[in-house]
Amino acid sequence: MAKEYDTVIGLEVHVELDTKTKIFCGCSTAFGAEPNTHTCPVCTGMPGSLPVLNKQVVEYAISVGLATNCRITGFSKFDRKNYFYPDNPQNYQISQLYLPICTNGFVEITGEDGNNKKIGIHEIHMEEDAGKLIHDEWEDCSYVDYNRSGVPLIEIVSEPDMRSADEVIAYLTKLRMIIQYLGASDCKLNEGSMRADVNLSVREAGSETFGTRTEMKNLNSFKAIRRAIENERERQIDIIEAGEKVIQETRRWDDNKEYSYPMRSKEDAKDYRYFPEPDLPPVVVSEQWIEEIRSRQPEFRDEKMARYIREFDIPEYDADIITSSKKMADIFEATVGEGANPKKVSNYLMGETMRLLKILEKEPEDIHFSPENLARLIKLTDDQVINSSVAKEVFEKMFEEDVNPEEYVEIHGLKQNNDVEGLKEIIKQVITENPKSVEDYHSGKEKALGFLVGQTMKATRGKANPEMIHLLLKELL
């Protein structure tokens, strides 16, 4: 009979902080620039260059630490982590090993059993990101772009407190929401502004000692994380069942092939020779500074939900969904701020927006229509300039390209036809052409009326006001 196994998981989560400049130099962190155009001697490791710490990075790290119940380190230092790789221009990464900025925190999730569960945070430290390697398809070489080199990161190291993929995803979702609410990062897994490495081991159910763990890298979505966890659990159980030993190693997940392989090399000694960074003085965080940052912490989800229900009079159900993402909450408030009816805004976000995100496999953070345009669209329907089916079409366009609905409706001639006399003519025509339905209506079949409304809409190419058609049809019949 097969043994039962428990899975033990800890995460190392890297989050790119949303600062304007890099951690140690005044280069822009903006995405999408031409290769190496956001670089300087510091972030390309030129001889004689020296790092100077971006204060905002420390403040973001502290604010994430406070929001995850961490102890903030009063006297914190940077260390050098030495390893050779071309994406790392100095061949050492400035990071924190011995005295990280935050330690000993936790976040609460809903555990496997449905009860609240604390996931411990061992530490949060600050470090610099690496550059990007681009591989040449044709020639035997790669290219380095240092635009991302020196972009600030925090690494959030959890305790090995998770026991399943569900818990891992609950933890990541919670962490992401906290950081998004803080405005410290957009935390997009697919774009790499949030990256999770999974440390996983298995042990016989009930055992108190940990098994040998592996570290899994290259997980770019929740789906990949789930698959990789399940795959790695099975792989380790197979090894143990075969009487062999799990090797402690780093593995790379290939989500297309749904398997992982070891990232081993005899040139990779894994001996990082950490030592205190002599070019950076320590960071001293006073109680006063902590209090200043605490007082600037934004409204978190629970407070926001309560306020939405109170202030905007929307149902709890709506508030819950809208506040599940900082981005959605921001759009909601901004759109309401433009004068739109809160419930109508909420309907758009919970309905069409969620539907389209799901179809396109996107996250709320990917929304790029503006609150102004959503407010305009709602106003167009309120004023009966367009009908609801046109509104749906315009919204889809807005979701794709953030078009201005007023202009779009104008250009594409989508205004609702409110010309009563003209409409009457069309309806008369429809009545003449559909004697069977007219007869059915008169014999009490209400459905027939719907058919006639539809025919009229078709004849007006969707531009007529359906309520008006309804009234006029009844009158003319």
Partner 1 sequence: MDILDFTAVGLADEIKKGEVSAQEAVEAVFSRIDNCEDELNCYISFDRMEAVKRAQQVQKAIEAGEIHSSLAGVPVAIKDNICTKGMKTTCASKILQNFVPTYSAHAVKCLEEAGAVIIGKTNMDEFAMGSTTETSFTGPTKNPWNTACVPGGSSGGSAAAVAAGECYYALGSDTGGSIRQPAGYCGIVGMKPTYSTVSRYGLIAYGSSLDQIGPLCKDVTDCANILEVITSYDEKDSTSARRKDASFTEALVDDVKGMRIGIPKEYFGKGLEPEISAAVLKAAALLEEKGAIIEEFNLTLTDYAIPAYYTIASAEASSNLERFDGIKYGYRTEVYEGLHNMYKKTRSEGFGGEVKRRIMLGSFVLSSGYYDAYYLKALRVKALIKQEFDKAFSKYDVILGPVAPQTAPKLGESLTEPLKMYLGDIYTISANLTGIPGISVPCGIDSKGLPIGLQLLGDCFREKNIIRTAYAYEQARGKFAGPDVSGCEHSLYEVE
Partner 2 sequence: MAKVISDETIEYVGILAKLELQEEEKEQAKKDMAVMLDYIDKMKELDTEGIEPMSHIFSVNNVFREDIVTNGDDRENILANAPLKKNGMFNVPKTFE
Q: Are strands 194-204 and 5-16 parallel, antiparallel or unpaired?
A: antiparallel
309 in contact with partner 2 (CB under 8 A) = no
Q: How far is the CB of 199 from partner 2 (least distance, A)?
A: 23
Find which of partner 2, partner 1, none residue 80 binds, CB within 5 to 8 Å per kind: partner 1
Q: Residue 90 binds which entry of partner 1, partner 2, none, with Cβ cut-offs from 5 to 8 Å by kind? A: partner 1
Count, residues near partner 2 per rule CB under 8 A: 55
Q: Does 84 bind partner 2 (CB under 8 A)?
A: yes
Alpha helices in 265-353 (DSSP H): 287-296, 301-312, 316-322, 326-337, 342-348
Q: Which of 160, 276, 462, 466 binds partner 2 (CB under 8 A)?
A: 276
Residue closer to partner 2 by CB (options 134, 247) is 134
- Of the pair 52, 360, the CB lying nearest partner 1 is at 52
d(CA 426, CA 100): 75
- Which DSSP letter does residue 366 get? G
Q: Which is nearer to partner 2, 87 or 320 (CB)?
A: 87
Q: Is 77 in the site for partner 2 (CB under 8 A)?
A: yes
Query: Cβ distance 187 to 180 under 8 Å?
Result: yes
Q: Which is nearer to partner 2, 7 or 73 (CB)?
A: 73
| Tokens matching residue 315 | 């149902």
48 binds, among partner 2, partner 1, none (CB under 5 to 8 A by kind): partner 1
Q: Confirm if 129 and 149 have CB atoms less than 8 A apart.
A: yes
468: left (phi over 0), alpha (psi -120 to 50) or beta: alpha
Position of tokens 């749906």? 392
User: Which partner from the list partner 2, partner 1, none does 190 bind, CB cut-off 5 to 8 Å by kind?
Assistant: none
Asked if 282 is part of the footprint of partner 2 (rule: CB under 8 A), the reply reads yes
DSSP labels, 2-37: PPPEEEEEEEEEEEE---SB-SSSS-B--TTPPTTS
* Interatomic CA distance for residues 265 and 421, integer angstroms: 81
Q: Which does 54 bind (CB under 5 to 8 A by kind): partner 1, partner 2, none?
A: partner 2
Closest by CA to 304, choosing from 291, 319, 293, is 319
145 scored as a contact of partner 2 (CB under 8 A): yes
- The least distance separating partner 2 from the CB of residue 302, rounded to whole angstroms, comes to 29
Q: Per rule CB under 8 A, is residue 36 in the interface with partner 2? A: yes
Length of the chain: 477
CB of residue 142 vs partner 1: minimum separation in angstroms?
9
Eight-class DSSP state of 365: G
DSSP-derived secondary structure letter, 130: P
User: For partner 1, which is the closer residue by CB, 273 or 310?
Assistant: 273
- Asked whether position 135 contacts partner 2 by CB under 8 A, the answer is yes
Give the one residue of 27, 67, 94, 305 binding partner 2; rule: CB under 8 A. Answer: 27
At residue 216, the 3 state secondary structure works out as strand
**Residue in 21, 158, 185, 193 binding partner 2, rule: CB under 8 A:** 21
- Give the three-state DSSP class for 338: coil
Residue numbers of the site for partner 1 (CB under 8 A)? 41, 44-53, 80, 82, 84, 86, 89-92, 144, 265, 267, 271, 273-275, 278-281
Q: Which of these ranges, 83-91, 156-164, 298-306, 457-465, lies near partner 2 under the rule CB under 8 A?
A: 83-91
What single DSSP character describes residue 162?
Answer: B
Q: Please identify, using beta-carbon distances, which residue of 132 and 174 lies nearer to partner 2.
A: 132
Instruction: Report the distance separating Cα 62 and Cα 106, nearest Å.
Output: 14
**Torsional sign, CA 238, 243, 246, 252:** negative
Minimum CB separation of residue 457 from partner 2 in Å reads 54
Which residue's CB is nearer to partner 2, number 138 or number 302? 138
The site partner of 231 among partner 2, partner 1, none (C-beta below 5 to 8 Å per kind) is none
53 binds partner 2 (CB under 8 A): yes
Q: Which is nearer to partner 2, 136 or 287 (CB)?
A: 136
Least Å distance, CB 45 to partner 1, is 4
| 210 and 165 Cβ atoms separated by less than 8 Å | no
User: What pairs with residue 92 in β-bridges?
Assistant: 82
